């Protein structure tokens, strides 16, 4: 699976990007026979439309893709990607019609359209290759695509092949590829290292729980990424129903996202010091599984009353966040497939995030709009703190009532970060149906926006 631009020296086919309102005028510029062909093909410039004009050899003489209208483009990210997979084999060079300010997004979408998850079943590769449009940073786009492909593949891989040891190996492979260091604490050693919540959540599984700790970079501001690595979530003793358990291979989507973002950061040589922390566990059912009404003591010393064993993600993140905060990095960011409440609030396409830092908010939202990676700010609403404070412990992992579930989860996590700027992303990590540049399955959310915002967030 090649997710790179075609060689500029390739025998290129000219590709015309034709907006809907310009289609008739463009067709009128063609030779009469060619124009008649275009009209016979009902080419109107709609998003997803393609037009190949025949030549005497095996390649088209030229091709066109629809760019839709301003209205339809607002509803469709990666408009060119809707057509890329429909073009005949060849290397295509944008000849006309693509606004320069749109080129990075559309080039990115084209490459992402080539992603295939083919570990278990052969998949047809995309035949149409794109030569990097003039003015785009081709190396940066390829690095972003590689990071996104890593995220997608990790999420798409089922839990029998993506348990805690496999997630560890993926992190080790990434570290080796970029000259990063990695340290992993496993099983009973978690207790000796004062990571009790990670151990407690994962101890019922056959594959031991672990904390993955990767570091890269020796100068610049400090950034710590914390990703939820619940490789499968049965719900524990509060067992999920079958319908709710069906997608739980993606419950390590936060870990997949931070590993993908880490690749982007390292491959583009950002001037910072990066740390990645991933608590990797399975929430399983066994005689030694943790129980409702248990009270657990966290690394930070805060006690937690367990009112639902299916609210385990915030527990493993709590220890990792406390560990991260001990170094007081300039910025901590957690990413997790944490609550169904976030999906109810904003659906699967938006990445909800929490931050009280206006510089972070401004930088992120500006970048998100620029790179077509939508995010939505949610509030750390302090008056709701009382909802996570039970009678007999410091914190409640699953407040009763169901109100503001994603906010109370974020407030729970914030209790474990006191010395650093903190932002939390409650992502879905899954594309429910095929869309341009986003095949059904695992998907990264918020990572491209974060990459493009780092210079403002960290002042680099």
Set 210, 299, 314, 415: catalytic member: 314
Set 39, 93, 172, 240: catalytic member: 240
In a domain, residue 310? The reply is yes
Does 124 lie in the same domain as 226?
no
Asked if residue 54 has pLDDT above 90, the reply is: no
pLDDT tens digits for 299-335?
999 999 999 999 999 999 999 999 999 999 999 999 9
User: In the structure, what pLDDT confidence band is assigned to residue 58 with cuts at 50, 70 and 90?
Assistant: low
In a domain, residue 113? The reply is yes
Does 328 lie in the same domain as 439?
yes
User: In the structure, what pLDDT confidence band is assigned to residue 279 with cuts at 50, 70 and 90?
Assistant: very high
In a domain, residue 7? The reply is no
In a domain, residue 1? The reply is no
Asked if residue 244 has pLDDT above 90, the reply is: yes
pLDDT tens digits for 248-263?
999 999 999 999 999 9
In a domain, residue 2? The reply is no
Does 176 lie in the same domain as 119?
no
d(C-alpha 305, C-alpha 390), whole Å: 7
Specify the CATH number for the domain of residue 355: 3.40.630.10
In a domain, residue 5? The reply is no
250 a catalytic residue = no
pLDDT on residue 85: 95
240 a catalytic residue = yes
In a domain, residue 149? The reply is yes
> Which has more pLDDT, 1 or 81?
81
Does 43 lie in the same domain as 58?
yes
Does 229 lie in the same domain as 88?
no
Averaged confidence pLDDT in the chain: 96
Does 130 lie in the same domain as 154?
no
Does 148 lie in the same domain as 130?
no
* Number of domains the chain contains: 2
| Domain final residue pick, 136, 152, 175 | 136
Asked if residue 57 has pLDDT above 80, the reply is: no
In SS3 terms, the chain reads as CCCCCECCCCCEEEEEEECHHHHHHHHHCCCHHHHHHHHHCCCCCCCCCEEEECCCCCCCCEEEEECCCHHHHHHCCCCCHHHHCCCCCEEEEEEECCCHHHHHHHHHHHHHHCCCCCCCCCCCCCCEEEECCCCCCHHHHHHHHHHHHHHHHHHHCCCCCCCHHHHHHHHHHHHHHHCCEEEEEECCHHHHCCCHHHHHHHCCCCCCCEEEEEEECCCCCEEEEEECEEEEECCCCCCCCHHHHCCHHHHHHHHHHHHHHHHHHHHCCCCCEEEEEEEEEEECCCCCCCCCCCEEECCCCCEEECCCCCCCHHHHHHHHHHHHHCCCCCEEEEEECCCHHHHHHHCCCCEEEEECCHHHHHHHHHHHHHHCCCEEEECCCHHHHHHHCCCCCCEECCCCCCCCHHHHHHHHHHCCCCCCEEEEEECCCEECCCECCECCEECCCCHHHHHHHHHHHCCC
Structural domain including 62 reads: 12-136
| Domain final residue pick, 103, 136, 169 | 136
Specify the CATH number for the domain of residue 91: 3.40.220.10
Does 120 lie in the same domain as 251?
no
In a domain, residue 6? The reply is no
| Domain final residue pick, 101, 136, 171 | 136
Does 96 lie in the same domain as 159?
no
pLDDT on residue 56: 58
Q: What angle do CA 351, 352, 357 make, to 5 degrees?
A: 120
Does 124 lie in the same domain as 241?
no
Does 217 lie in the same domain as 307?
yes
């Amino acid at each position: 699976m090649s997710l790179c631009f075609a060689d500029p020296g390739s025998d290129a086919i000219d590709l015309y990007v034709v907006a809907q309102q310009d289609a008739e005028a463009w067709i009128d510029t063609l030779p009469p026979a060619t124009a008649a062909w275009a009209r016979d093909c009902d080419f109107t410039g709609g998003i997803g439309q393609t037009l190949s004009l025949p030549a005497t050899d095996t390649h088209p003489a030229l091709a066109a893709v629809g760019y839709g209208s301003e209205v339809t483009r607002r509803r469709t990210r990666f408009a060119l990607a809707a057509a890329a997979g429909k073009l005949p084999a060849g290397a295509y060079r944008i000849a006309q019609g693509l606004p320069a300010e749109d080129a990075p997004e559309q080039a990115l979408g084209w490459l992402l359209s080539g992603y295939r998850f083919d570990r278990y079943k052969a998949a047809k590769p995309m035949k149409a290759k794109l030569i990097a449009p003039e003015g785009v940073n081709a190396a940066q786009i390829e690095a972003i695509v590689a990071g996104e492909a890593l995220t997608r593949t990790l999420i798409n891989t089922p839990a029998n092949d993506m348990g805690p040891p496999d997630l560890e190996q993926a992190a080790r492979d990434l570290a080796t590829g970029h000259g990063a260091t990695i340290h992993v604490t496993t099983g009973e050693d978690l207790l000796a290292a004062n990571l009790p919540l990670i151990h407690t959540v994962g101890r019922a599984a056959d594959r031991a729980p672990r904390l993955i700790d990767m570091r890269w970079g020796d100068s610049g501001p400090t950034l710590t990424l914390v990703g939820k690595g619940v490789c499968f979530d049965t719900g524990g003793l509060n067992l999920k129903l079958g319908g709710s358990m069906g997608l739980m291979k993606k419950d390590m989507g936060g870990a997949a996202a931070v590993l993908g973002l880490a690749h982007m950061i390292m491959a583009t040589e950002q001037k910072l010091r990066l740390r990645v922390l991933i608590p990797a566990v399975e929430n399983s059912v066994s005689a030694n599984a943790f129980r409702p009404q248990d009270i657990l003591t966290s690394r930070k010393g805060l006690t937690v009353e367990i009112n639902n064993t299916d609210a385990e993600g915030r527990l493993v993140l709590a220890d990792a966040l406390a560990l991260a905060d001990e170094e007081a990095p300039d910025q901590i960011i957690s990413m997790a497939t944490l609550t169904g409440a976030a999906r109810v609030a904003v659906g699967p396409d938006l990445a909800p995030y929490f931050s009280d830092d206006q510089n972070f908010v401004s930088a992120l939202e500006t970048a998100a709009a620029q790179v077509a990676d939508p995010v939505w700010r949610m509030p750390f609403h302090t008056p709701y703190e009382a909802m996570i404070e039970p009678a007999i412990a410091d914190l409640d992992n699953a407040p009763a009532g169901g109100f503001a579930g994603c906010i109370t989860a974020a407030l729970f996590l914030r209790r474990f970060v006191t010395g650093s700027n903190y932002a939390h992303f409650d992502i879905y990590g899954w594309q429910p149906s095929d869309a341009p540049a986003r095949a059904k399955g695992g998907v990264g959310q918020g990572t491209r926006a974060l990459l493009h915002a780092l210079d403002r967030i960290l002042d680099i």
